[in-house]
Amino acid sequence: MRIAICEDEEKMQTDLKGLITTWAKSKETNTEIKCYSTGEDFVSDWSETYFDLAFLDIEMGKLSGLDVAELIRKSDQNMLIVFATNHRQHALKGYDVNAFHFLIKPIQEELLLPVLNKAYSIWESSQNEYLLISSGSEQIKILCRDISSISQYNQMAKVNTNDGVHDYRITMDELEKTLPKYFVRCHRSYLVNLNKVDRILKDDLLLYDGSRVPVSRSNAKQVKDAFARLYTEI
């Protein structure tokens, strides 16, 4: 699991790295931690380095944690982002960039550990969750976390991913039973990955890539409840 810490206070950066290192040893998991003192340094490295989890200080210099998160979300909707801030009111802004959680400084170990545990659980499950799609004589392995939505016409499902659209002969009912719990049936003919949803509108869902997925009246409450649970269960 690759973790980034972007924090301009040296002591805070060192303390947070120490807490994460201790947690990683207790989990017996291989964790790589990289630290950055400015948003600019993080963005420069991030363009060539993939992170599963990032701790961002909201109140940095020229490029704030929120600025960094907005840049991340233009191309990466999967990275888990945790904001650290001295002021609770700043936390509300983080929902615009699909923040995973918020921590008030100084970060307390008893509040950090549940966040790390859930982030690890999400990361671990994402390594094993995939669809195996037959295409002619080939089989394509698609990670579930890379799927944004699935639509169906007759018995053919169209699986929308980061790399394009794949056809899959399967029913929506079968898919719904197969996919992880962060997928929800938003319409009779649509399933959506809630991790890819930017906001819930009146009749549809706006995804981070700018596309929209319809929501039927009968599924609206189910979608809203599932979306709320996804970001409050820590």
User: Of residues 155 and 80, which shows the higher confidence score?
Assistant: 80
Say which range, 9-13, 84-88, 182-186, has the weakest mean pLDDT: 84-88
Report the pLDDT value the prediction gives residue 88, as an integer from 0 to 100: 67
Q: 117 and 138: one domain?
A: no
Domain C-terminal end among 127, 157, 188: 127
Q: Report how many domains make up the chain.
A: 2
Distances (CA, A) of 173 to 29, 107, 156, 157, 218: 36, 44, 12, 11, 16
Do 117 and 28 share a structural domain?
Answer: yes
Domain around 190 = 129-230
The predicted-structure confidence for 105-152, as pLDDT tens digits, reads as follows 899 999 999 999 989 988 877 776 888 887 666 778 888 888 999 999
Say if residue 97 is in the same domain as residue 134. no
What is the C-alpha to C-alpha distance for residues 30 and 24, in angstroms, rounded to an integer? 7
Question: Are 113 and 6 members of one domain?
Answer: yes
| Domain CATH number, residue 120 | 3.40.50.2300
* pLDDT of the residue at 92: 58
Same-domain status, 123 and 224: no
Considering only the C-alpha atoms of the chain, give the largest distance between any 2 of them, rounded to a whole number of Å.
Answer: 59
pLDDT of residue 152: 92
Q: How confident is the model at residue 48 (pLDDT cuts 50, 70, 90)?
A: confident
Those residues with Cβ within 8 angstroms of residue 3's Cβ, 6 or more apart along the chain or in another chain: 20, 31, 32, 33, 34, 51, 52, 53, 54, 55
* Weakest mean pLDDT among 30-34, 92-96, 210-214: 92-96
Residue 177, domain CATH: 2.40.50.1020
pLDDT above 90 for 50: no
CB 183 within 8 A of CB 215: no
Percent of the chain whose predicted confidence (pLDDT) is above 90: 47
Q: Are 138 and 122 in a shared domain?
A: no
Beta bridge partners of 191: 150, 185
Residues 74 and 177 in one domain: no
**Residue 233: pLDDT over 60:** no
- 118 with 196, same domain? no
Same domain, 67 and 138: no
Mean pLDDT for 150-175 is 89
* Cα angle: 211, vertex 223, 56; to 5 degrees: 70
Cα Rg, the chain, nearest whole Å: 19
Indicate whether 61 and 21 sit together in one domain. Answer: yes
The answer to whether 19 and 67 are in contact (CB under 8 A) is no
Contact 56/69 with Cβ under 8 angstroms?
yes
Out of 127, 143, 163, a domain closes at: 127
Can you say whether residue 93 is alpha, beta or left, with left for phi > 0 and alpha for psi between -120 and 50 degrees? Answer: alpha
pLDDT at 75 over 80: no
12 vs 153 pLDDT, higher one: 12
Of 112, 127, 142, the position where a domain reaches its end is 127
Inform me whether the pLDDT recorded for 214 exceeds 70.
Answer: yes
